[in-house]
Amino acid sequence: MNKEDNETLCRVGKGTPMGELLRRYWIPAALSEDLPEPDCDPIRVRLLAQDFVAFRDSAGRVGILDELCPHRRASLVLGRTGHGGIECLYHGWRFSVQGKILQMANCDDEKLAERYRANAYPVHEVGGIIWVYLGPAQHQPAFPLHPWMEAAPEHRYTRIIASHSNFVQVMEGLLDSSHLGILHQDALPAGDGSQRYDHPGKTESFRYLTSLRAPKIEVHETSFGMYYAALRKVVHDGQPMVDTRLTAFVAPFTVYVAFDHGRVALTLIPVDDEHTYFYNITWEDERPINTEPYRSQIDLAGGTLPDVARRWGFARETHGQARTASRQNNWLQDRAAMRRGETYTGLPPFTAEDAAMTSSMGPISDRQELLVPADLAIVRMRRMMIEAARSVAAGGTPPGYETGQHPGDIVPWARKLSPGVDWRSMLPGMESVSA
Ligand code: FES
Ligand SMILES: [Fe+2]
């Protein structure tokens, strides 16, 4: 990829083509539990290379304002919550969640209090996540109701994984079926079905990932992004079948993948050009997976148990701290365990493995690559995102759902199909933009 395209693809600051594209969508800013109660401590939120303060007011409403006070630029993250807003320590200006000035302790001129405002952004709190819209008011889109938002809180488990990489790099890992059976082979069932890790919802077809490592990738573009299928020729009950794993990419930053029981939505939120928060949302209709033992099972399978997340530095609390995984310590790889034949990667399964691969490329990969057919979905996503960013910069509309279409219609699956059955014919009623 040439340097100019790579810059367009990756830079997310205000005024950049990709940054402006992303600002046309509702964006997860934090978990609801990060602001656990009315008038709790405010938090700093960094999104798309901009800093904000998020707080919950006395009535429980969430406000997101520019971090720096509009008076003389002190940080509102140091401010006091209460009396219906957040109050700057420096001169006691107090702001509502809408940015209205409720008090100006060092000024008696009520007209100024009427005229001045803090920059406040529209907020929506749904599905245990605080969402914000950072784009131009006239382009604010309808709030998209994703299928997991309808699940009761006990049936939904959300984790945030912090990554020292540009968001596109992390997203590419989710559109890369061929790495699953190679990088993650320690955690997946072997060809004979035996496995070291249990996972609620892990399908039998996972074992094909480790034995058939060069899947055929096919892409079907839609108005919201694309579906892609990883096809592996298998023999099932003596019959030739095509193991088909369907993934949906919902522009600009969400990927849906399928399991037998639960489903997973993966949303990659750029903190800035070089850091990403990866919202991993698992939901399941039958079981209350947001309780034990399910949470620990999911964390074990995904490699996100709290002690691993803290030690490897993909927990938000420890991210970037000394002694967590980094280039300097080769991502805490255990060469001795590799030599003993206990592990292929020398890393905890899945998340630490992915984090090591994506951050070892450098925070923004130069994408001077030698690609193969297995990389097709990655190439198409990049092209789609660059085109969308340039189109929006030229006054076009961002990719989105068609009228009447709903994220709940997007149901990825993993199935074995008879040879000759076209997986595209089984998509849930989607109108394609191009075949
Ligand atoms: S800097 Fe915030 S009130 Fe003066
Ligand atoms: Fe991975």
Per DSSP bridges, beta strands 120-121 and 101-104 are unpaired
What's the 112 CA to ligand 1 centre distance in angstroms? 14
Residue 309's pLDDT is 96
What's the 184 CA to ligand 2 centre distance in angstroms? 7
279, β-bridge pairs: 160, 267
Ligand 1, CB within 6 Å, residue ranges: 69, 71-72, 74, 88, 90-91, 93
What's the 274 CA to ligand 2 centre distance in angstroms? 19
Residue 432's pLDDT is 42
**Ligand 1 atom having least distance to the Cα of 76:** 2
Residue 372: Cβ within 10 Å count: 10
Give me the DSSP letters along 121-182: E-EEEETTEEEEE-S-GGGPPPPP--GGGGS-GGGEEEEEEEESS-HHHHHHHHT-GGGHHH
Residue 358's pLDDT is 97
Q: Measure the CA–CA gap between 247 and 376, rounded to whole angstroms.
A: 13
| Residue 192 buriedness (CB in 10 A; 0-12 / 13-18 / 19+) | exposed
What's the 77 CA to ligand 1 centre distance in angstroms? 12
Residue with tokens 């595209």: 424
- The answer to whether residues 358 and 311 touch, using CB atoms and an 8 Å cutoff, is no
Q: Which of 68, 78, 88, 107 to mutate to test the pocket of ligand 1 (most atoms within 8 A of CB)?
A: 88
pLDDT in tens, 263-284: 889 999 999 999 999 999 998 8
Ordered domains of the chain (ranges, CATH): 26-139 (2.102.10.10), 147-434 (3.90.380.10)
Ligand index nearest the alpha carbon of residue 181: 2
What's the 106 CA to ligand 1 centre distance in angstroms? 9
Residue 232's pLDDT is 87
Residue 366: Cβ within 10 Å count: 10
Q: Measure the CA–CA gap between 219 and 248, rounded to whole angstroms.
A: 10
Ligand index nearest the alpha carbon of residue 89: 1
Angstrom CA distances, 216 to 172, 273, 274, stand at 17, 32, 31
Extract the tokens encoding 252.
């600009």
Low-confidence ranges of the chain (pLDDT < 50): 200-201, 430-435
235, β-bridge pairs: 240
**Ligand 1 atom having least distance to the Cα of 69:** 2
Nearest CA among 159, 186, 183, 188 for reference residue 353 = 183
What's the 349 CA to ligand 2 centre distance in angstroms? 9
Q: Which of 53, 65, 91, 117 to mutate to test the pocket of ligand 1 (most atoms within 8 A of CB)?
A: 91
Residue of the CA atom closest to atom 3 of ligand 1? 91
Ligand index nearest the alpha carbon of residue 302: 2
